[in-house]
Amino acid sequence: MRRASYFIALLLGFMCGLLCVSQKAQSQSMYKDPFESYLPRVTEEYMKKHKGAPEDLGPPPVVIEGVLWGTKMPATIIDGEVYKVGDTLQTIDAKVFKIKKNIVFITYGERIFEMRVKTRGGM
């Protein structure tokens, strides 16, 4: 009889724990909002840092040195550092948005810039 009551108490405790975990998981969305913008948000801190409207910013002051293309996870070399899609650049507040053959798309301010790999003869 003691074993049966012990087993029932253990089973009830386990079920209560699962219930608490499932309620917590439902309260936190596990999926990304499909309508949320991928572009960085303009905040007061951003405006103070850049001293002007983000639309006034030109292309980011970086050099695209190379692109690793044709793999499952394409990568790029920017100012001597390796980045993949979604990474934030270390030198400025910009993000790698997309990587194609010899082209890297970078979000900077409210715009997306298409930047090409620098060649030996210039840009």
CA distances from 13 to 3, 9, 20, 74, 80 (A): 15, 6, 11, 48, 55
Asked whether residue 25 is domain-assigned, the answer is no
pLDDT-based confidence at 123, cuts 50/70/90? very low
Asked whether residue 70 is domain-assigned, the answer is yes
pLDDT-based confidence at 67, cuts 50/70/90? very high
Following DSSP, what letter does each residue of 15-66 receive, concatenated?
A: HHHHHHHHHHHHHS--S--TTS-SSPPP-HHHHHHHTS-GGG--S-S--EEE
Q: Which tens digits make up the pLDDT trace of 12-40?
A: 777 766 666 555 555 555 666 667 666 66
Asked whether residue 16 is domain-assigned, the answer is no
pTM of the model: 0.52
Average pLDDT estimate for 65-85: 90
Number of structural domains, the chain?
1
Containing domain of residue 54, as a range? 44-116
Strands 103-108 and 111-116: antiparallel
Asked whether residue 35 is domain-assigned, the answer is no
pLDDT of residue 2: 74
- Residue 104 phi/psi, 5-degree rounding, is -125, 130
- Average model confidence (pLDDT) across the chain: 76
Asked whether residue 20 is domain-assigned, the answer is no
Q: Which tens digits make up the pLDDT trace of 44-62?
A: 666 666 555 455 567 888 8
Q: What is the CATH number of the domain that holds 51?
A: 2.30.30.830
pLDDT of residue 105: 93
Asked whether residue 64 is domain-assigned, the answer is yes
